[in-house]
Amino acid sequence: MKLNNKKSSNLSCKVLGLALCAVIGLGINVTPMAMKNAQAQEDSQRETRRTPALRVKVYDQLSRAQKLADEGKTDEALEALENVKGKASSMNSYELAMMYNFYGFIYYNVERFDEAIASFETVVEQQPIPESFELSTLFSLAQLHMMRGNFDKTVAFLERWETLNASVNSNSEIPAKNYVLKAQAMYQQKSYDKAASYIEKAIEIVEAQDDIPDENWYVLQRAVYYELKQSEKVKDVLLKLVRHFDKPKYWVQLAGMYGELGEEQKQLAILETAYQQGYIESGSDMFNLAQLYYYHQMPFKGARLIEKGFVSGALDKNLKNLKFLSQCWVLAKENEEAVPVMKAAADLSDDGELDAQLGQIYLNMEKWQQAITASEAALEKGGLRNEGTVHLVKGMAFFNVGQYNEALNELAEAEKFHSSKGMAQQWSKFVETEKASADRLTVSLSQ
């Protein structure tokens, strides 16, 4: 028997509820150039673009601002930079860029992100400055705009980075991290096709080097494919996540995707493997696996798993769980186990359905009086899908305890319902015959 679509999709959608962080797997880099290496950097960075020198007096003032910032004296560091800024008219482009870079660094560290962005944008407006300095600032700006939700600007600064990088390093390829950032920007803008192409390229670059991409890159790729309703590709990404990172949630999600693809045997195999590894601990995951056992005709395993959930506290002994546990025991033909569980569930239920089922179980166990009591409770609560069957069970139980008149009354009630009419008529004839025989015997014994 197949697990129905609703249950399968619940399993997959639950575990595919995706919350992506602002900038995944990259790490924002807004640290200013180390002042002690500034002159050496300047010389090497001016090889392809002629840039003015960073003068000693400006170096000393920026160094003081950095020292104050490192000591956590933000206001004093900003004041020191304001003193430098007061002489901006006498500063060259490189010195101005370095000054604004420090503004950006300080603002970022105290989470004044919009001011940090404005400062870094001013850095790249100063020209000429060393290409590597401009490249690192452009990429930091792309990340910061991503973090602030400015997705168009994220892409714009990445493309500025790529254009400049191509002019400086004509033989270099676009790094994988650029594609990832573009992919995330497209994902946030719901441009899922573009996002898919970018994240595929990023992962392809890293995997081609026999390396493993960052875990969050795969998470983004999975999210993109999920939005595109490409279940096979979601499954393939989850296989990589299971193989490379072996986290419980990926096993559960992989099982869910197999269910969504209609491959229930693989769904069960993956989820059972996860259970054997100790990855199935939450109540919802336990219940899902128990359902799979039930629908794959392994109710005993399902019942034991539900009981384990009760013992561990992962599952509550509520109506839903008790009802399902009783169904497992019934399917496993373990009526002795089923009865107390179903009775507990029936006590929690507002309708008489479970009492009716309990009556049938008691009848099969030849516990006639209990069958009568349970059937009466079912009729009293009402809300029954098939009231005629309850009267039929009650009539058969009355017959077996020798209460023929009561049995015939209940069977007469059962005849009023189409689903139980035929069986009730047959039983009525049988009971009347037995009653007549019993009456004749009673008369004979009294003479």
317 closest CA partner among 296, 287, 359:
287
- What mean pLDDT comes out for the span 406-410? 96
Q: Quote the CA–CA distance of 204 and 209 in Å, as a whole number.
A: 9
Cα-based angle 289, 20, 261 (whole degrees, multiple of 5): 35
| Residue 31 confidence class, pLDDT cut points 50, 70, 90 | low
Could you report the per-residue pLDDT of 68-89, keeping only the tens digit for each?
A: 998 999 999 999 999 999 999 9
Compute the average pLDDT of residues 113-121: 96
Could you tell me which residue, 31 or 112, shows the higher pLDDT? 112
Determine contact, residues 383/351, Cβ cutoff 8 Å: yes
Sign of the CA dihedral running 383, 386, 389, 391: positive
- The residue among 7 and 62 whose pLDDT is bigger is 62
Two tokens at 77?
């560091």
DSSP string, 385-424: S-HHHHHHHHHHHHHHTT-HHHHHHHHHHHTTSHHHHHHH
Structure tokens at 294: 């039930």
Tokens of 376: 């009466």
The SS3 assignment for 158 reads: helix
Long-range residue pairs from 371-374, CB within 8 A, at least 24 positions apart, any chain: 371/396, 371/397, 372/397, 372/398, 372/401, 374/346
pLDDT at position 22, please?
41
- Closest to 154 in 3D by CA, of 137, 139, 142: 142
**CB within 8 A of 41, min separation 6: which ones?**
33, 130, 132, 133
Query: How far apart, in whole angstroms, are the C-alpha atoms of residue 127 and residue 97?
Result: 8
Q: What is the DSSP string of 339-397?
A: HHHHHHHHHH-SSSHHHHHHHHHHHHTT-HHHHHHHHHHHHHH---S-HHHHHHHHHHH
Cβ neighbourhood burial of 372 (10 Å; 0-12, 13-18, 19+):
buried
**Res 172: pLDDT:** 86
User: Could you give the percent of the chain with pLDDT greater than 70?
Assistant: 89
Which pLDDT band holds residue 46 (cuts at 50, 70, 90)? very low
